[in-house]
Amino acid sequence: MTTSPDLPGSHDWSEAGFSTRAIHAGQDPDAGTGAVVPPIYQVSTYKQDGVGGLRGGYEYSRSGNPTRAALEEALRAAEGGAAGFAFASGLAAEDTLLRATLRPGDHVVVPNDAYGGTYRLIARVFGPWGIEHTPVDLTNTDAVLDAIQPGRTKLVWVETPTNPMLTIADIGAIAAHARSAGAVLAVDNTFATPYLQQPIALGADVVVHSTTKYIGGHSDVVGGALVVADGAQLPVGLDGPTGGTSLADAVRFHQNSSGAVAGPFDAWLTLRGLKTLAVRMDRHCANAAAVAEFLAGHPRVTQVIYPGLESHPGHELAARQQRGFGGMISFRTGSVDSALAVCAATRVFTLAESLGGVESLIEHPARMTHGSVAGTALEVPDDLVRLSVGIEDVADLIADLAGALA
């Protein structure tokens, strides 16, 4: 769509490094004014130069908006994909992908510790529309193979690291199984971010994001994204809504048909966050490593779950698959009461859902983010505490936790 040299996205940054792509892809200075960042095109419709005479392909902002296009191109470049799509939330992105790839009677393999909202969407929204699912421990690649029903499984959903148990799945190995079954491999890359992990290079067909988290990075916007790999196809046997079998074409059709798009201001905030993703992630990783070490040595903590610790069962795989271990830590305190007490006692860590912002957050998954999976295969331990380690001074973070655990 954005072929005019006047519009964002005209320069090819594919050879550039991660941060150069995040800062420049889709974000050429405005041709008319020289504005260095893409303006917020807070507009619903576009003047046509005669019927069908669109300027740069824009006709209506559900179908396309220049600010959103800038974000979509930057996300595409950050993930190394062929096409990017921005949505009103991570779940809106997931919903669009599920609609594009599944039909009644199809089957999905889902992580047995998937993000609760993902599980709820697949089980309780798509279930009644005839979609079956099997929760699987994705750390066991053979179990993934066993769960795939040839001819019926059309989508394999990977989340790594998972929320909140921080398990690590082998994207490349699972991609091979999904491919041989003719299923689409989707990877939720929200926790790792494209800076730490590049699922498409490892064989994923499509990357899913809640950009609400690290990509937005400032706890001020809700958004989601899909980035489709070059050449990715719909599941074997499914014809796309516009003819052909291109996954990107099907997602584009569904994004416009269902319309859960990112608004211009939300797209602008998300794009602003993406530019600093790499520097923020470096600090998130360094702070989390220090906090995990502290917790591992604390007598009131019974278990620390952080992929950067050698005690983590996925440590070696994470070291191979990721550039860093991320900013999320979960730990157990031995009882629900002590977990709730810690959550109530911190001052720098704010008690809140969500994650990935510059400020540190603490929460109790069993009663907060993962309440919707209580009583299912995805239930989480009730003495678990989850930290989103921010980019404050790490000494203050450790002192805060020390006080709360005392």
Ligand X SMILES: *Cc1c(COP(=O)(O)O)cnc(C)c1O
Q: What residues make contact with ligand X under the rule CB under 6 A?
A: 89-91, 115, 117-118, 159, 163, 188, 190-191, 210, 212-213, 222, 224
Q: How far is the CB of 387 from ligand X (least distance, A)?
A: 14
Number of helices and strands in the chain (H, E): 13, 12
Residue 337 annotated to the active site = no
Residue 62 annotated to the active site = yes
- 3-state SS, 228-283, equals ECCCCECCCCCCCCCCCCEHHHHHHHHHHHHCCECCHHHHHHHHHHHHCHHHHHHH
User: Quick one: 7 or 114, whose CB is closer to ligand X?
Assistant: 114
Residue pointed to by tokens 């393999």: 109
What are the distances in angstroms from CA 288 to CA 51, 140, 329, 353?
A: 56, 26, 7, 18
User: Quick one: 2 or 99, whose CB is closer to ligand X?
Assistant: 99
* Helix 394-405 with 277-296: angle, nearest 10 deg: 40
User: Quick one: 159 or 400, whose CB is closer to ligand X?
Assistant: 159
Neighbours of 382 (CB within 10 A): 16
User: Quick one: 89 or 346, whose CB is closer to ligand X?
Assistant: 89
User: Quick one: 346 or 369, whose CB is closer to ligand X?
Assistant: 369
* Helix 394-405 with 336-345: angle, nearest 10 deg: 130
Cis ω on the peptide bond leading into residue 313 (within 30° of 0)? no
For the chain, the maximum distance between any two Cα atoms, rounded to a whole number of angstroms, is 74
Catalytic member of 21, 68, 120, 213: 213
Q: How far is the CB of 191 from ligand X (least distance, A)?
A: 6
Residue 188 annotated to the active site = yes
Q: How far is the CB of 23 from ligand X (least distance, A)?
A: 23
Question: Residue type for 108, please?
Answer: V
Separation CA 345–CA 254 (nearest Å): 45
Q: How far is the CB of 120 from ligand X (least distance, A)?
A: 10
The distance in angstroms from the start CA to the end CA of the chain is 58
Q: How far is the CB of 115 from ligand X (least distance, A)?
A: 4
Residue facing ligand X at closest CB distance: 90
User: Quick one: 187 or 238, whose CB is closer to ligand X?
Assistant: 187
Separation CA 381–CA 365 (nearest Å): 8
Q: How far is the CB of 93 from ligand X (least distance, A)?
A: 8
Q: Using alpha carbons only, what angle is made at residue 381 by residues 339 and 174, rounded to the nearest 5 degrees?
A: 130
Q: Which one-letter DSSP state was computed for residue 106?
A: -
Q: How far is the CB of 210 from ligand X (least distance, A)?
A: 3
User: Quick one: 89 or 233, whose CB is closer to ligand X?
Assistant: 89
What are the distances in angstroms from CA 352 to CA 215, 288, 369, 370?
A: 18, 18, 9, 13
User: Quick one: 165 or 317, whose CB is closer to ligand X?
Assistant: 165
Burial of 104 (0-12, 13-18, 19+ CB in 10 A): exposed
Catalytic member of 113, 170, 188, 205: 188
Q: How far is the CB of 345 from ligand X (least distance, A)?
A: 25
Catalytic member of 115, 119, 195, 306: 115
What is the token pair recorded at 178?
A: 């999904």
Contact 143, 400 (CB under 8 A): no
| 3-class DSSP assignment, residue 200 | coil
Separation CA 153–CA 150 (nearest Å): 6
Q: Which one-letter DSSP state was computed for residue 124?
A: I
Active-site residues, by number, are: 62, 115, 188, 213
